[in-house]
Amino acid sequence: MNIENFVSVNQLSNDEFWELMALARNLKQDLRAGKSQLILQEKTLGMVFLKPSLRTRVSFEVGMTQMGGHAVYLGPDDIKLGERETTEDIAIVLSRYVNVIMARVFDHRTIEGLAEHASVPVINGLTDFLHPCQALADFFTIYEAKRELEGINLTFVGDGNNVAHSLIYASAIAGANFTIACPEGFEPDEAVVEEARKSTEVNILHDPAEALGDADVIYTDVWASMGEEDIAGEKKSRFDGFRVDEEMIKKAKDDVAVMHCLPAHYDEEIAQSVAHGPNSVIFEQAENRMHAQKALIALLVNN
């Protein structure tokens, strides 16, 4: 892998993307077979959290342990980027202690600042603009479920948010067709869409029924992201009719895979019966965060 940091999925070439997918598959298979994975012995991951998390923290921390390494958790009260200390100084100091940094933050410029000033690899664990680790796990999950990615029709129902942006970038690399169904005014970033359209088909629709006919995958996410609590009520009213429920998935292919990056607000963006139903790959998707991220860390540290 030729990249020094992982800030966005669109940094990856097609070959690097498939190298990650292959290593994630091998690591998952080896773990289930009980084989040793001690490929990062004496390596330390520094985990910077300005936003709380279940999956991000546990998947990174357990993944490092499984590979023989160690993870250090730095919560919102432990490290205040740009407040108690500059992002530049934190990046420089952490680089003296750890072998790789993962940060889950609000402002995308924060992760860019860490990557600019750190002398060790920096991984974007989430920003308000992108969620690239999630997209890696998602496409690994789609590949497991469908055995292919090129030409797959991925339909995202909901807000054009950070998850949608990273899925759009990943679709462009993998050759998947991306469609988003969202209310007017909640479309994904125009620059992200235009860049992806150089490599694949990206459709923006405002009627979920119109978007679902050819869907191989239906993906949804919370309507109001962390930090948007003050407008959650307004968004809920605007997204009326965009809940992924039993009637909605009937409009797609019989074997459509249903995805959600979690946590879910049941009976808002998705029905609990669908999330736990036969078409759901949501919990495989959650597990695959760990396998995809292990592959990413291994390739960055051993670059």
Active site residues per annotation: 104, 131, 134, 221, 261, 289
Residue partners of 278: CB distance under 8 A and separation at least 6: none
The CA-atom distances, in angstroms, between 206 and each of 144, 178, 212, 226 are: 29, 14, 12, 24
Is residue 216 helix, strand or coil? coil
C-alpha distance from residue 145 to each of 83, 200, 276 (Å): 44, 21, 16
Q: What distance in Å separates the CA atoms of residue 55 and residue 61, rounded to the nearest whole number?
A: 10
DSSP state of 256: P
10 secondary structure, DSSP code: G
Q: Give the CB-side neighbour count of residue 249, counting CA atoms within 13 A.
A: 24
Spatial contact of 243 and 268, defined as CB atoms under 8 Å apart: yes
What single-letter amino acid sits at 6? F
